[in-house]
Amino acid sequence: MRSPKDMGIIQIDITNACVHSCSNCTRFCGHHKKPFFMDFETFKHAVDSLKDFPNMVGIIGGEPTLHPEFEKFVNYLRDSRIGVNKRYKILRKPVSNMLKYIYTYLQHADVKLGLWSSLNEGYYKHFEVINDSFPTQFLNDHDIACQHQALLMPRKEPGISDDELIKKRDACWIQNTWSATITPKGAFFCEVAGALDMLFDGPGGWQVEPNWWKRSVKDFWDQLPWCELCSGCLDVPQRISNDERDDMTPEIYDPLKRMGSPKIKRGKFVFMTRKLLIKAIITRSQQEQIT
């Protein structure tokens, strides 16, 4: 695990509304009865708290351009002291290892603002302000399917012991390569933990105040219980993103059903029992050996 201060990016989740409903979405889009839209005061606090953060600040969703105050937010971000944009870098060719590219690029890029968008109408509506403000844009229209790892298959069903979980959690590839985040409910050491807190109406994150992101790993204890409900760090199946179904075990299915998840109502899930899970894990490992 890493402190947010050592991350290349810290995100601000301004909404979980999205035009898509991908399988195994990291924000669990499709399960919320009503999306959230961060308010402007919270956004200002979030931006101000990251004033001295030396790396990239990202705006993400859901689909951030769906936020009704998107331009107001972007103008504030651009005019803030963290918005020092010196150099543009456009990815013109496919790269074989996107994660490596992002990681290497961010370490050397002199850019500080990033936008994550799935290129919907909102993107084109705000085209001018986006391109005046974000030197780095991560655009993925999801027309080309990619693999999304299951996140809602926590350790109980696969039978992972306490010791194993601690080892896997501490080596979680998501926390080690992605970002900390700020949601309307506070700051989180991991973006998936922030989304789980939103989905299950958890206690919220750390207070968004200057230097919250300097916390070290030993200060994560109050948020680590989210890893108990998450399969981000486990060897679980992946699914093509535009399949739209989420893989989940009974432990997660039951509360989501009780909460009235629209995605469950539409039958967009694959129920994973222990037997099915073991079969899927073996298939995944065979596929990985072939490729």
Chain residues in the site for ligand SF4 (CB under 6 A)? 18, 20-22, 25, 27, 29, 61-63, 118, 142, 169, 172, 174-175, 190, 192-193, 226-227, 230, 232-233
Type of residue found at 259: M
As a whole number of angstroms, the distance between CA 90 and CA 214 comes to: 30
Question: Could you tell me if 23 and 246 are in contact, meaning their C-beta atoms sit under 8 angstroms apart?
Answer: yes
Tell me whether residue 30 or residue 83 sits nearer to ligand SF4 (CB atom).
30
Q: How far is the CB of 113 from ligand SF4 (least distance, A)?
A: 19
Residues 44, 50, 51, 57, Cα dihedral to 10°: -90
DSSP 3-state of 257: helix
| φ, ψ for residue 184, nearest 5 deg | -60, -10
Tell me whether residue 24 or residue 55 sits nearer to ligand SF4 (CB atom).
24
- 70-79 and 40-49 helices, crossing angle to 10°: 30
Instruction: Give the DSSP per-residue string, 207-221.
Output: ---TTGGG--GGGGT
Q: How far is the CB of 162 from ligand SF4 (least distance, A)?
A: 14
Tell me whether residue 2 or residue 44 sits nearer to ligand SF4 (CB atom).
2
Q: How far is the CB of 51 from ligand SF4 (least distance, A)?
A: 25
C-alpha closest to that of 189 among 203, 210, 200, 205: 205
Q: How far is the CB of 224 from ligand SF4 (least distance, A)?
A: 7
Tell me whether residue 49 or residue 175 sits nearer to ligand SF4 (CB atom).
175
Distances (CA, A) of 13 to 67, 191, 194, 235: 11, 9, 9, 27
Strands (E), 8-167: 9-13, 56-60, 113-117, 136-139, 147-149
The residue at minimum Cβ distance from ligand SF4 is: 232
Q: How many CB atoms lie within 10 A of CB 170?
A: 14
Tell me whether residue 83 or residue 232 sits nearer to ligand SF4 (CB atom).
232
Q: How far is the CB of 226 from ligand SF4 (least distance, A)?
A: 5
Q: How far is the CB of 180 from ligand SF4 (least distance, A)?
A: 10
Tell me whether residue 22 or residue 153 sits nearer to ligand SF4 (CB atom).
22
Q: How far is the CB of 58 from ligand SF4 (least distance, A)?
A: 13
The number of residues making up the chain comes to 291
Q: How far is the CB of 9 from ligand SF4 (least distance, A)?
A: 15
C-alpha closest to that of 30 among 39, 43, 17: 17
Tell me whether residue 82 or residue 261 sits nearer to ligand SF4 (CB atom).
261
Tell me whether residue 22 or residue 199 sits nearer to ligand SF4 (CB atom).
22
DSSP 3-state of 100: helix
